[in-house]
Chains A and B, each alone.
Chain A
Amino acid sequence: MSNQVYEQNFDINNLDPADFVLINKGEAIKDEVSSIKALGFFKDAWVRLKRNKSAMMAFTLIMIIAFFAVVGPSMNKWGYNDQNPTWTNLPPRIPGLAGLGIADGTRILENRRTDYFSDPNKYPEGSILSYTVTGNVNGIDMATVKVDAYKLAGVPDDTNFLFGTDYLGRDLWTRMWRGARVSLTIAILAVSANIVIGVVYGAISGYYGGSVDMVLMRITEILGAFPQTIVATMLVLILGRGIRGIVTAMLIRGWTGTARLIRAQFFRYKGREYVLAARSLGVPDRKLIFRHILPNSIGPLITQAMVSIPGAIFSESFLSFIGLGLQAPEPSIGVLLSDAQKTLLTYPYQMVFPAILISILMISFNLLGNGLRDAFDPTMRGVTD
C-alpha cells in the first residue's frame, strides 16, 4: 500500500480531498481484556506492607502484646488487686531463667547483722545464699547478704511471680497485662473518637470552604494554642480520674489533627475532575463526600490513627505519672510506672517491665504507622515527616 503511494508521482499542491480517508472511520474498536488480575487498593497496600520487615515485626509485637493484654491477667490464680502483706516487693522469678542469674528471685541486702542469720524466724531455712562481711558495728559483724527473697517471705517453692510483686504484694504479671489492657482501651477509645470527630469536622470545613471553613479553622487554632498536656490535666481535674475523664481530656484537642488532615484532603480532591464528573451527573453532596472524596483519605487516616495511638498511650501514662491517672486499684501502664518510680532506687525491677512494655508499644505503633504510610502512599517512602 504505502509503497504504491510513493511510486505515484502526485502533485503535493493539488491533492484531492476525496483521496483521504479518516483513520479508523467506521472501524469498530474492540479491545481485548487483559489477563492480568489487578490488585485492589487495600490488597496493593498489604503487599507493600508485607515487604516492610520492621513494620511486620512491629505488627507481630503489637499482636503479641494485645494477646497478653486479653488473656494475661487470667493466666495465673492472682487477681489484679489480690494483696498479700507478707509477700510484698518480691523480685521476679521466672523458672528456667534462674540458672542465668537473672530473674531468679534473689535479692542483695546490705548491712545485715550476721548474728541474726541463724535465727530461723528472721531467716528461714535456706534463704541465705551467700554473704560477705563488710564491717563491724558494736562488736557485731555486718554483712552484705544475697538472699532468696521467696524463702525469706515464706513463699512456697512452686509459686513464682514472673514479674515480681509490688508494695502491696500484688502480682505484677497480672497487673501489668491488665494495665496494658486498660491503656490500650483508653488509647483506642480516644483515637477512634478523635477520628470520628475529626472526619466530620474536617469534612464540613473542607467541603463547604469559605467562611464556614474560616470560622471552624479559627476554633481549632484556638484549641491548638493550649498545650495538650495542660488541657488534659485541666480536664481530668474537672471530669474526674476515670477512663471517661481521661478519654475526654484527650478528645478536647486530639481531633484537630485529624480535622486538618481531612480538610486538606477535601481541598485537594473536591475539585478533581472525577468529583466534578459525578456532580455533573447529579450525584448528591452526601454521596460525593462519602463515595468520592472521603475514600481517598482512608490511607492517611489509618496512618494517622496508628501514629496517634502511641500519643494517646503517652498522654495516659503522663497523666498517671503526675498523679492524675486512674483511681487505685485499677492499674494502667502509667499507674505502674508511677508506682514503680516511687521505689525506683530500692526495687528497680518494678520499673523494668512496664518501661519495656510502653517502649515496645510506642516503638511498634510508630514503626507500623511509618510502614502503613509507605504502603498506602509509596511516593512518600523515605520521607518521614
Chain B
Amino acid sequence: MLQQDNSEREVMLNVEHLNMHFTTKKRGRVNTVKAVDDVNFQVYKGETFGLVGESGCGKTTTGRCLIRLYNPTSGKIELEGVDIMGKMTSEKRKYITDRAAMIFQDPIDSLNPRMTVAEIIGEGLKVRGIKDQKVVDEKIYDILDKVGLTKEHATRYPHEFSGGQRQRIGIARALVINPKLVIADEPVSALDVSVQAQVINLLNDLKDEMGLTILFIAHNLSVVKYFSDRLGVMYKGKLVEVSYASDIYERPIHPYTKSLLSAIPEPNPLKEKRRVRHAYDPTMHDYTKEQPSMVEIYPGHFVYASPSEIDRVLNGGEI
C-alpha cells in the first residue's frame, strides 16, 4: 500500500466535527449519550476506509449518520463535495441515496422476511423510477450473478438462504443501484468464520469491478487488516487514531489502538504463547491541564492526544 500524498486525492466523503447525541428523558431525568463526539475524517475516492472499535463505541451510529439514517446533532458531512446536513428534502434524499448504499450487519434481520429476493433487490430500482419490469429483472439477475447466486434464487424468500447467502443478497441490494460509496456495517461479524473470507473477497472483487469506495465498519482489527487502505480507530464516540492500515499496524501510537492490536491472536502458537494483552485504561490521560485534539503526528497519521503527549511520542516515548 503506497502512501500517497493525500492532498492530491479526490475526497469522496468529508466529515468534520460530527456529533450525534442521544437524549433520553425518563420521568424528568435527561440523560445525554454522546454516541459520536466531534469526529473528523475523510474518505478518498476508490479507497477502503476501515472504522474499527469495540461494540458500542459509536461506529455504527457514525455510519448511519453519514447517509442520514440518523439526524446528526451537529457537524458537517460532505458527500462528493456537497453538504448533506440540514433539513432533509426529497432532492437531498435522492442525492444521498443515488451515491451511497449500506450493507447491514445482521444477515437475518436486514432482509424483509415477507419479500422475495427479487423484490428486496428490485426495491431500490423501483424507487428510482425504473418502471420497466424487464429492465428491473435484468439488473436483478445480473447482480445476483455477480454475488454468486442464480436467477432461480430470485423468487425465493430470505429464510431459505444461509447466512453467507443472505449477506450476499444484502450486498446485491446495495450494489444494484450502482452506488459510488458503500458503507459496510460489520458485514461479516455475524457470519461463520469460514464464510467471512468468502464474503470479504466478494466485496473486494466487486470493489475493483465497480470502482467503489468502501467505508468498512468492523470491531475486529484482523478482519480489516488486509482489506483496508486506511483505518480509523474509535473509542467511546471519539476517533482516536487515523492512518494508513500498514502504519497503524507497524507504528500504533494511541494506547487504545495498541490494546486492540494486542488482542489479535497470533497464528503461530509459539508467538501466541508470548502474546501480551494490553488493557487500555482511559484514566491514564491527564486532560485536566491541556485539551487533547486531533494532531497529524506523521504525514497522514492522525492521533487524538494532548500537546505534551505528542511531545513524548516525538521524543521516542509513549503516550
Check A-B contact in the complex, CB < 8 A.
yes
Q: Is A281 an interface residue (CB 8 A)?
A: yes
Which of B12-20, B41-49, B103-111, B276-284 lies on the face that meets chain A? B103-111
CB interface residues, A 23-52, toward B, < 8 Å:
23-26, 28-31, 33-34, 36, 38, 40-41
Closest to A15 in B: B268
Q: Are B173 and A281 in contact (CB under 8 A)?
A: yes
Q: Is A276 an interface residue (CB 8 A)?
A: yes
Q: Is B64 an interface residue (CB 8 A)?
A: yes
Interface centre among A13, A41, A277, A295 (most CB of B within 10 A): A277
B71-104 CB mask vs A (1 if < 8 Å, else 0) is 0000000000000000000000110111011101
> Which A residues lie within 8 Å of B115 (CB)?
291
Q: Are A29 and B153 in contact (CB under 8 A)?
A: no
Kindly provide the distance from the CB of B123 to the nearest chain A CB, expressed in whole angstroms. Answer: 6
CB interface residues, A 321-371, toward B, < 8 Å:
none
- Point out the residue from B104, B165, B198 that lies within 8 Å of A277, measured CB to CB: B104
- Point out the residue from A12, A22, A283 that lies within 8 Å of B123, measured CB to CB: A283
CA separation between A273 and B111, bound complex, in Å? Answer: 8
In the assembled complex, 24 residue pairs joining A and B whose CB atoms fall closer than 8 Å, in A order, are A12-B268, A13-B268, A23-B197, A24-B197, A25-B201, A26-B205, A29-B147, A31-B149, A31-B150, A33-B150, A38-B156, A38-B157, A38-B159, A40-B157, A41-B113, A273-B104, A273-B105, A274-B109, A276-B64, A280-B102, A281-B123, A282-B97, A282-B124, A282-B127
> Which B residues lie within 8 Å of A24 (CB)?
197-198, 201
> Which B residues lie within 8 Å of A25 (CB)?
201
List the 9 closest pairs (A to B, CB-CB), nearest first: A29-B148, A282-B97, A273-B110, A281-B124, A33-B152, A273-B104, A273-B109, A280-B102, A23-B197
- Point out the residue from A26, A31, A41, A279 that lies within 8 Å of B69, measured CB to CB: A279
Q: Are A283 and B127 in contact (CB under 8 A)?
A: yes
Q: Is B290 an interface residue (CB 8 A)?
A: no
A280-B102, A281-B97 known; A272-B109 Cβ under 8 A? yes
Q: Is B245 an interface residue (CB 8 A)?
A: no
Kindly provide the distance from the CB of B38 to the nearest chain A CB, expressed in whole angstroms. Answer: 24
Excluding A273-B109, A277-B173, 15 further A-B contacts by CB distance (< 8 Å) are A22-B197, A24-B198, A273-B104, A276-B64, A276-B104, A276-B110, A280-B97, A281-B97, A281-B173, A282-B93, A282-B96, A282-B98, A282-B128, A283-B127, A295-B114
> Which B residues lie within 8 Å of A278 (CB)?
112, 123
CA separation between A51 and B44, bound complex, in Å? Answer: 59
Q: Are B148 and A28 in contact (CB under 8 A)?
A: yes
CA separation between A199 and B249, bound complex, in Å? Answer: 54
Closest to B98 in A: A282
Closest to A293 in B: B112
Q: Are B102 and A41 in contact (CB under 8 A)?
A: no
CA separation between A279 and B88, bound complex, in Å? Answer: 13
CA separation between A276 and B69, bound complex, in Å? Answer: 7
Q: Is A292 an interface residue (CB 8 A)?
A: yes
> Which B residues lie within 8 Å of A283 (CB)?
123-124, 127
A263-276 CB mask vs B (1 if < 8 Å, else 0) is 00000000011101
Q: Are A31 and B148 in contact (CB under 8 A)?
A: yes
> Which B residues lie within 8 Å of A292 (CB)?
112
CA separation between A277 and B123, bound complex, in Å? Answer: 10
CA separation between A292 and B106, bound complex, in Å? Answer: 17
Kindly provide the distance from the CB of B151 to the nearest chain A CB, expressed in whole angstroms. Answer: 9
The residues of A with any CB-CB pair to B shorter than 8 Å are: 12-13, 22-26, 28-31, 33-34, 36, 38, 40-41, 272-274, 276-284, 287, 291-292, 295-296
CA separation between A81 and B165, bound complex, in Å? Answer: 67
> Which A residues lie within 8 Å of B173 (CB)?
277, 281
| Interface residue tally for chain B (C-beta within 8 Å) | 48
Q: Are B110 and A23 in contact (CB under 8 A)?
A: no
> Which B residues lie within 8 Å of A22 (CB)?
197, 201
Q: Are B177 and A34 in contact (CB under 8 A)?
A: no
Closest to A273 in B: B110
Kindly provide the distance from the CB of A332 to the nearest chain B CB, expressed in whole angstroms. Answer: 39
> Which A residues lie within 8 Å of B201 (CB)?
22-25
> Which B residues lie within 8 Å of A272 (CB)?
109
Kindly provide the distance from the CB of A291 to the nearest chain B CB, expressed in whole angstroms. Answer: 8
- Point out the residue from A12, A277, A296 that lies within 8 Å of B170, measured CB to CB: A277
CA separation between A36 and B105, bound complex, in Å? Answer: 28
CA separation between A28 and B97, bound complex, in Å? Answer: 29
Kindly provide the distance from the CB of A295 to the nearest chain B CB, expressed in whole angstroms. Answer: 5
- Point out the residue from A29, A33, A279, A282 that lies within 8 Å of B198, measured CB to CB: A29
CA separation between A29 and B153, bound complex, in Å? Answer: 14
Q: Is B160 an interface residue (CB 8 A)?
A: yes
Q: Are A31 and B165 in contact (CB under 8 A)?
A: yes
B243-274 CB mask vs A (1 if < 8 Å, else 0) is 00000000000000000000000001011000
Q: Is B202 an interface residue (CB 8 A)?
A: yes
A30-B150, A38-B157, A41-B114 known; A280-B127 Cβ under 8 A? no
> Which A residues lie within 8 Å of B109 (CB)?
272-274
> Which A residues lie within 8 Å of B93 (CB)?
282
CA separation between A214 and B94, bound complex, in Å? Answer: 31
